[in-house]
Amino acid sequence: MPELPEVETSLRGIEPHLRGHLIDRLEVREPRLRWPIPPDTGERVAGQHILALRRRGKYLLLDLEQGVLMLHLGMSGSLRVLPASTPPGPHDHVDLCLDEGPCLRFRDPRRFGMLQWTAAPAEAHPLLRDLGPEPLEPAFSGAYLHRRARGRRAAIKTFIMDSQVVVGVGNIYANEALHLARIHPSRAAGRISRARLEVLAGAIREVLAAAIAQGGTSLRDFVQEDGKPGYFAQSLRVYGRAEQPCPNCGARIRQRRIGQRSSFYCAACQR
């Protein structure tokens, strides 16, 4: 599944081509995504200017003159800016066609993505209103994690992957940040000191910022908006490296399941 850096990469790729443009039409070839696209969505967005583009967690938000167009890439979604005349492929389900000819094409082979229009502020939408802070913004800190973790028995890896605690820390980046902070992924969140959580907050920011700078992780189903794969996978320290040497100490990287997700860690470095 595309994680926060992949979504941020997509946002930065499409934003210059969409911001300020008029939506000519919304062409929906397959409305049956994770939530069906309402049949009146095209009528609601056509003729509106795209005032701004932003991201909240893994949701892309297109602020229109009236309402917000919300888009989620799901497990296998990707975006392209193409001439409207480009023939669609079998999984190209939606085109957002602009006034000057190009279109934003949404491709989603597994159809777990989402495209919905909301008249209310996006932050009030049921999918967004309970989300935690953005990990790259000032509200996210070790002090914040310490307050939220107080009394929690959940594994720290599960804790930081909870979108109501902090958004966008998916499985890959949780593994990487915990290794960088030298915290064992199964340690109870409520038993970690504020000082160590400060280190973890910094590690989360560092790992995500590095992934964004390098274009996102090359997952099997994700490519950038220009069709090229991301490159952060080349820099992964522990994820997917079971039995290989730890880059810190050389000990064997171990793998186990925590919260139904594969976890990679160094038992020698991470405590």
Active site residues: 2-3, 58, 261
Virtual torsion, Cα 182, 260, 10, 200, nearest 10 deg: -20
Rounded Cα distance between 209 and 87, Å, is: 36
44 marked ligand binding residue: no
254 marked ligand binding residue: no
Virtual torsion, Cα 252, 258, 262, 263, nearest 10 deg: -30
Residue 20 is encoded by which pair of tokens? 């300020």
Q: Backbone phi, then psi, for 232, in 5-degree steps?
A: -65, -25
49 marked ligand binding residue: no
Q: Backbone phi, then psi, for 245, in 5-degree steps?
A: -70, 140
Residue 48 is encoded by which pair of tokens? 């509106």
Rounded Cα distance between 107 and 263, Å, is: 30
Show the 3-state SS of 63-112.
Answer: EECCCEEEEECCCCCEEEEEECCCCCCCCEEEEEEECCCEEEEEECCCCC
Binding annotation for DNA: 91, 110, 152
Binding annotation: 91, 110, 152
